[in-house]
Amino acid sequence: MTTAPQAGFAPNRLMRRLLGPVFGTACLLATCTGVAVLTLLLGSIVAAALQGPPRAPWYAIGSNLTEAGSLIRRLATSSQSRMPEFAGYRVGIAGSLWLLGLVALIGIPVGVGAGVYLEEYARPGRLRQIVQTNIANLAGVPSIVYGILGLSLFVRAFGIKAIALGPTLLAGVLTLSLLILPIVVITAQEALRAVPSSLRHAALALGATRWQVVRDHVLPSALPGILTGTILGLSRAIGETAPLLMVGAAGSILQMPRGPLDRYSALPVEIYNYARQPDPAFQAVAAGGILILVTILLIMNGAAIVIRSRFRRYH
Amino acid sequence: MPSSFQKPGNRSAAPQATDLWPGHSRALAFWEGVVTSALVSCAAITIFTTAGIILVLGVQSFEFFRLPEISITEFFFGTTLRPGAHPPKFGIVPLLWGTFLVAAGSSMIALPIGLLSAIYLSEYAPRRVRSVLKPALELLAGIPTIVYGYLALLLVTPILKRLLEPMGFRVETFNALAACIVVGVMIIPLVSSLSEDVLSAVPRGLREAAFGLGATKFEVSTRVVLPAALSGVFASFILAVSRAVGETMAVVLAAGMRPQITLNPLTQIETMTTYIVQVIGGEASYGEPKYLSLFAVGLTLFAITLALNIVSSWVLRHFREVYQ
């Protein structure tokens, strides 16, 4: 090798020294935009919800909290109304809780079952590959397309009156269950994959059947991961608006749903209805609803993150 | 549910056919079969979902195109969309343009910021900072899209008005720019978390070799790690665009419902998703051309997002640098 300097190599010391920190700072700022936006978002929504004459300055946190508390209590206990000072989310919250419970009963077991099948039962091969690719693609389908599916399949049943559910709670539940299926399957699979195979081998060697291995050893070990996926799926379901609009969650329902075949409304759908009103007083009502929704979601997601970091046994 | 213990009387010492896996007794083998078929049907539901989507969209779109007043060429190349007019005009191009405008605008915000934050998280951040920031980004990703839509209406559009109206631009209450901004912010967490995964999967040895040759951290990040993970970064970009294309509520609330082909981002536009919501919220009854047109638009939307997702996974598989 000759040591002749190469023509193209001309190190610019100053540039090299400057560029690094500049780039690092830019990266840090970019990362902070996310957190900053979250703060800005919640702050502006709280401010909008407490709109009106400022009774207490913003730094009087105690009295502001009391005010926010009474606002949320009022919104949570009154139903739809044409007058903003009486409008609230009672029916929507009830509908969302119904949806949450029924999706947890119907959608989650199916998703976990599919995950267990793919990880523990299916032989590696073409069929498994197809199912896997299909699930990955389903995860990318826009939620409104699930709404169209639910509309044709559950609400109208292709025009067959006898099995058409109409715009009932059950139709919404089935649609949302299909919507969250890919998330639940993928997270369940990840959790099951993290369980070491020595555990399965030991149980099989002692004479357990395949289902006994799964039920008594694999599932308990993978439970925290599966629970995380379940919560993530449910929080996706509770925040979805577009598919519910498609399958007929109406914003103007005044009666509480009593069973899965009743008509219903959901919290995000009511928020959408209020947000569309031109009257700025309704904007404050919408902001209050968002406050309720985001609080529920942050609690659910926070729980998922804690469960994952605290109870994860295998990495 | 049968007990997992065997009664001693059930078994003789000699091996029998029922001794073989699965199951040691007939009841247990039966139970195995029941469970297996239940699990298979769970997995089959995922296949049926895809089949259902294709069937529903395909059949009803076919019905739409069979109507005498509809022609396929006019649908895909027509530049006017007036479903209420006589005769109604169904040209999807304004919707495609609106969707493209939102996707392109939001990508211009989300892709650079998302990539920079992924580089920070994977290359620069101390471990403790990272363990705080990553869950925070995940929380941000969990916020429902209706919230972003409301934010566009409440916060972004008024700010745009305050900023741009003194300069002589007219900002409409519903405008494409506000939608682009909120959708962009919405997909930042997606880009950064997917890109961060591939960046941190680049082996340490590459970085150490570059540092050993005297490269600075900036050079290692941009000339070694980034090229090594380029396929994954690109795949995450495509997924983010696909998410922006399918985004509904934020666009419905922010961008308005007037289908037009315009380059001015301060006016109303209409995307494919908005059109679907508009039709279902209106008075169109079943069988009308307007009602059926939502399935044709839905099919187009589904095809576009599916194509983007497939391209994304193809890029990931075929251009991946494999390290040992």
Q: Over pLDDT 90: what percentage of chain A?
A: 31
- Determine contact: A164 vs chain B, CB below 8 A: no
Cα end-to-end distance, chain A, whole Å: 47
Question: Residue B146 and residue A275: Cβ atoms within 8 Å?
Answer: yes
pLDDT at B242: 94
Contacts of A96 (CB under 8 A, 6+ apart): A238, A266, A267, A268
> Which A residues, 77 through 136, put their C-beta within 8 Å of a C-beta on chain B?
109-111, 113-114, 116-118, 121-122, 130-131, 133-136
What distance in Å separates the CA atoms of residue B221 and residue B205, rounded to the nearest whole number? 13
Considering only alpha carbons, which residue of chain A is nearest residue B4?
A: A212
pLDDT at A4: 53
Helix axes A169-193, B26-66, angle to 10 degrees: 120
- Candidates B43, B133, B313; nearest CB to A136: B313
Cα end-to-end distance, chain B, whole Å: 47
0.80 surpassed by pTM: yes
- Tens of pLDDT, residue by residue over A81-136, are 667 666 778 888 889 999 999 999 999 999 999 999 999 998 888 989 999 999 99
**DSSP conformational letter for A78:** S
pLDDT at B174: 87
| Pair of tokens at residue A267 | 């919290």
Question: CB of A267 within 8 A of CB of A292?
Answer: yes
- Determine contact: A30 vs chain B, CB below 8 A: yes
- The least confident of A26-35, A49-58, A248-257, B62-71 is A49-58
Closest to B265 in 3D by CA, of B178, B183, B188, B135: B178
Min Cα–Cα distance to chain A from B71, Å = 23
| Pair of tokens at residue B263 | 């380059």
Question: Residue A121 and residue B39: Cβ atoms within 8 Å?
Answer: yes
What distance in Å separates the CA atoms of residue A253 and residue B47, rounded to the nearest whole number? 35
Residue B76 within a domain? no
> Which A residues, 202 through 241, put their C-beta within 8 Å of a C-beta on chain B?
204, 207-212, 216, 232, 235-236, 238-241
Tell whether the model's pLDDT for residue A175 goes beyond 70: yes
> For residue A243, which amino acid is it?
P
Mean pLDDT of chain A: 84
The residue assigned the tokens 């469970």 is B35
Pick one of 1.10.3720.10, 3.40.50.970, 3.40.50.150, 3.40.50.620 as the CATH number of A94-265. Answer: 1.10.3720.10
Tell whether the model's pLDDT for residue A188 goes beyond 90: yes
**Number of domains chain B is built from:** 2
Statement to judge: residues B39 and B95 lie in one domain: no
Higher pLDDT, B138 or A148: A148
Give the CATH number for residue B295: 1.10.3720.10
pLDDT at A9: 64
Question: CB of A79 within 8 A of CB of A254?
Answer: yes
Residue B6 within a domain? no
Q: Mean pLDDT in each 10-residue stretch from start to end of chain B (324 residues)? A: 45 49 70 91 93 93 86 82 78 91 93 92 89 82 88 87 85 88 91 91 92 90 91 92 92 86 84 90 76 91 94 86 67
What distance in Å separates the CA atoms of residue B49 and residue B71, rounded to the nearest whole number? 29
Statement to judge: residues B163 and B47 lie in one domain: no
Contacts of B70 (CB under 8 A, 6+ apart): B64, B90, B289
Q: Please report, for chain A, the start and end positions of each structural domain, with discontinuous segments joined by +.
A: 94-265
pLDDT at A55: 59
**Of the segments A46-60, A134-148, A299-313, which one has the largest average pLDDT value?**
A134-148
Q: Domain containing B189: what range?
A: 81-318
> With contacts defined as CB-CB under 8 Å, which chain A residues touch B32?
209-211
pLDDT at B319: 79
Average pLDDT over residues A49-69: 65
Here the ipTM equals: 0.87
Question: CB of B278 within 8 A of CB of B257?
Answer: yes
> With contacts defined as CB-CB under 8 Å, which chain A residues touch B155?
40, 44
The residue assigned the tokens 């494919």 is B272
Rounded CA Rg of chain B = 27
- Helices H, strands E: what count in chain B? 14, 2
